[in-house]
Structure 1
Amino acid sequence: MEKFHLIGIKGSGMSPLAQILHDMGYYVQGSDIETYFFTQKKLEDRNIKILAYSEKNIEEGLTIILGNAFNEEHIEYVRAKELGLTTYTYSEFLGKIADKIKSIAITGAHGKTTTTTMASTIFKNAKDISYLIGDGTGLGKKNSDLFIFEACEYYRHFLHYRPNHAIVTNVDFDHPDYFKDESDVLDAFQSFVNQVRDAVVYCGDDLLASKLKSSSAQMISYGFKDSNDYQVRNLETSEEASKFDVYKHGEFFGKFVMRVFGLHEISNALAVIAMADINGIPLEKMQEAAKNYKNAQRRFIEYKFKNNIIVDDYAHHPREIEATINTARRKYKDKNVVAIFQPHTFTRTEAFLDGFAQSLRKADDVYLYPIFASARETSGNVSIEDLRKVVDENAKVIRGEEDFSTLSKLENSVILFMGAGDINKYQQKFLKSLDN
Structure 2
Amino acid sequence: MINDEILKNIERVHFIGIGGSGMYPIVQIFHSKGYKITGSDNNETETLDAVRKMGIQVFMGQRAENIGDAQLIIYTAAIMADNPELISAKQAEKEGRAYVCERADILGLITGWYEDAVCVCGTHGKTTTSSMLTQIFLDEGVDLSCVIGGKLPSINGSGRSGSSSIMVCESCEYQDHFLKFHPDVAVILNVDADHLEYFKNIENIIKSFNVFAQKTTKCIIFNGDDENSHKAVDGVDKEKITFGFDKSNDYSAVILNKKGLKTEFEVYCKQDMQPRKMAIHVPGDHNVLNALAAIAAARYEGVSWEGIRKGLDSFFGAVRRFQKIDEVKGVTIVDDYAHHPKEIECTLKAAKGLDFNRVWAVFQPFTYSRTKILMDDFVSALEIADTAVITDIMGSREKNTDGIYAEMLGERIKDSVYFLTDHELVDKQTAQQKEYNFMQCVDYIAQNAQQGDLVITLGCGDVYKLAKMLAQKLKQM
Which category describes the TM-score, using the shorter chain as reference length?
over 0.9
Q: CA deviation at 1:10?
A: 2.6
Deviates more, 1:202-211 or 1:49-58: 49-58
Q: CA 1:38–1:153 in structure 2 vs 1: closer, same or farther (change >3 Å)? A: farther
Structure 2 counterpart of 1:156, one-letter code: D
**Is the Cα–Cα contact under 8 Å of residues 54 and 75 in structure 1 kept in the other structure?**
no
Deviates more, 1:255-264 or 1:51-60: 51-60
Partner of 1:121: 135
Structure 2 counterpart of 1:407, one-letter code: I
Which of residues 229, 252, 268 is equivalent to 1:247? 268
Which of residues 61, 77, 95 is equivalent to 1:68? 77
Partner of 1:273: 295
Structure 2 counterpart of 1:134, one-letter code: G
Q: CA 1:268–1:300 in structure 2 vs 1: closer, same or farther (change >3 Å)? A: same
1:12 has 2:21 as partner: yes
Which of residues 50, 61, 66 is equivalent to 1:42? 50
Q: Deviations over 1:302-337 (max 9, x none)?
A: 12223221011111111011111112123x234311
Q: CA 1:402–1:358 in structure 2 vs 1: closer, same or farther (change >3 Å)? A: closer
**Is the Cα–Cα contact under 8 Å of residues 316 and 418 in structure 1 kept in the other structure?**
yes
Aligned pairs for 1:97-136 (under 5 A) are: 97-102=110-115, 103-126=117-140, 127-135=142-150
Partner of 2:180: 160
Partner of 1:308: 331
Partner of 2:398: 376
TM (norm. structure 1) is 0.93
Partner of 1:147: 167
Matched residue SS, 2:384? coil
Q: CA deviation at 1:179?
A: 1.2
Work out the number of aligned pairs and report it. 432
Q: CA 1:204–1:75 in structure 2 vs 1: closer, same or farther (change >3 Å)? A: same
Q: CA 1:60–1:370 in structure 2 vs 1: closer, same or farther (change >3 Å)? A: closer
Partner of 1:190: 210
Matched residue SS, 1:209? helix
Partner of 2:63: 54
Distance 1:400 1:23 in 2: 40
**Is the Cα–Cα contact under 8 Å of residues 23 and 139 in structure 1 kept in the other structure?**
no
Q: CA deviation at 1:106?
A: 0.7
Q: CA deviation at 1:269?
A: 0.7
Distance 2:50 2:285 in 1: 30
Q: CA deviation at 1:43?
A: 2.6
Q: Deviations over 1:329-386 (max 9, x none)?
A: 23x2343111111111111111111110101111111111011111233453321111
- CA RMSD, Structure 1 to Structure 2 (Å): 2.0
Partner of 1:91: 104
Q: CA deviation at 1:205?
A: 1.4
Q: Deviations over 1:208-254 (max 9, x none)?
A: 11222253321111011122110011431101511111001171242
Q: Deviations over 1:175-200 (max 9, x none)?
A: 12211111111111111111011111
Unaligned 5+ segments in structure 1 are none
Unaligned 5+ segments in structure 2 are 1-9, 152-157, 420-436
Partner of 1:410: 449
Which of residues 376, 381, 401 is equivalent to 2:439? 401
1:264 has 2:286 as partner: yes
